[in-house]
Chains A and B, each alone.
Chain A
Amino acid sequence: AQSVSQHNHHVILSEAASLELGCNYSYGGTVNLFWYVQYPGQHLQLLLKYFSGDPLVKGIKGFEAEFIKSKFSFNLRKPSVQWSDTAEYFCAVRAGAGNNRKLIWGLGTSLAVNP
């Protein structure tokens, strides 16, 4: 069965530190990859997505992610975090071609940024 692994469940950083959150998936075929974020008290919202083309994807608020097919990975990065980045981050994968719209999600990573 397809699965998504997020390696870090809880991350604590100081402002201006660099961030990298790991995401690996298990599926050998075509995938679309997503990072969603949930800020405290808010809805889940899309940070960025990969569907084809350039494997380095840029999203909102200075986030980026790199799709490395050979490693089945889609790690999220930000060079300098801010206190406002405190949130829960979820990696999700849509596996396969065609009209399948089911997203498989990781467990999430809780990020706390200290001012």
Chain B
Amino acid sequence: GAGVSQSPRYKVTKRGQDVALRCDPISGHVSLYWYRQALGQGPEFLTYFNYEAQQDKSGLPNDRFSAERPEGSISTLTIQRTEQRDSAMYRCASSPRGREYNEQFFGPGTRLTVL
């Protein structure tokens, strides 16, 4: 079946603009995760959902970042008033119902560049 998809794949925006990044998980996957990866770094946890409930948002860096998953499937990560330091690869992953050590399946990522 189809894997995790993310759109757009590339986003260039000007400082101060809002951006919305979309993640479409594998069909039937209960959990959805957002990560941010700066150049030369490992992924950094942002937030995750079980179904539509946001279970942990401790990794969101500040209140300009928010995420939702209103129907328990597609998720949107929104960054308001973007800053240059927000430039990074934003990765989404999903995992099936089950144990907390289940494999997370990753999408291709969205490369965000803030000018």
Interfacial residues, chain A to chain B (CB-CB below 8 A): 4, 6, 32, 36, 43-46, 49, 51, 90, 92, 94, 98-108
Q: Which residues of B contact A104 (CB under 8 A)?
A: 45
Q: Which residues of B contact A103 (CB under 8 A)?
A: 33, 43, 45, 104
Interface stretch (choices B12-20, B55-63, B66-74, B79-87): B55-63
Q: How far is the CA of A6 from the CA of B33 in the complex (A)?
A: 23
Contact residues of A: prevailing secondary structure: strand
Q: Which parts of B14-47 form the interface with A (CB within 8 Å)?
A: 31, 33, 35, 40-45
With contact pairs A101-B31, A106-B42, A107-B41 given, residues A46 and B103 touching in the complex (Cβ less than 8 Å):
yes
Number of A-B contacts (CB under 8 A): 62
Contact residues of B: prevailing secondary structure: loop
Whether A49 lies near B103 (C-beta < 8 A) is yes
Q: How far is the CA of A107 from the CA of B58 in the complex (A)?
A: 20
Q: Which residues of A contact B106 (CB under 8 A)?
A: 36, 43-45
Whether A99 lies near B100 (C-beta < 8 A) is yes
Size of B's binding interface in residues, CB under 8 A: 29
Whether A98 lies near B100 (C-beta < 8 A) is yes
Whether A101 lies near B44 (C-beta < 8 A) is no
Closest to B40 in A: A107
Q: How far is the CA of A106 from the CA of B41 in the complex (A)?
A: 8
Chain B proximity of A69: nearest CB distance (Å): 16
Q: Can you list 26 A-B contacts (CB < 8 A)?
A: A6-B42, A32-B101, A43-B107, A43-B108, A44-B43, A44-B93, A45-B106, A46-B103, A49-B101, A51-B99, A94-B101, A98-B100, A99-B100, A100-B56, A101-B31, A101-B33, A101-B56, A101-B95, A101-B100, A102-B45, A102-B58, A102-B59, A103-B33, A103-B45, A105-B43, A108-B42
Q: Which parts of B100-115 form the interface with A (CB within 8 Å)?
A: 100-101, 103-109
Q: Which residues of B contact A108 (CB under 8 A)?
A: 41-42
Judge if B8 is at the interface, Cβ distance under 8 Å: no
Whether A105 lies near B42 (C-beta < 8 A) is yes
Closest to B99 in A: A51
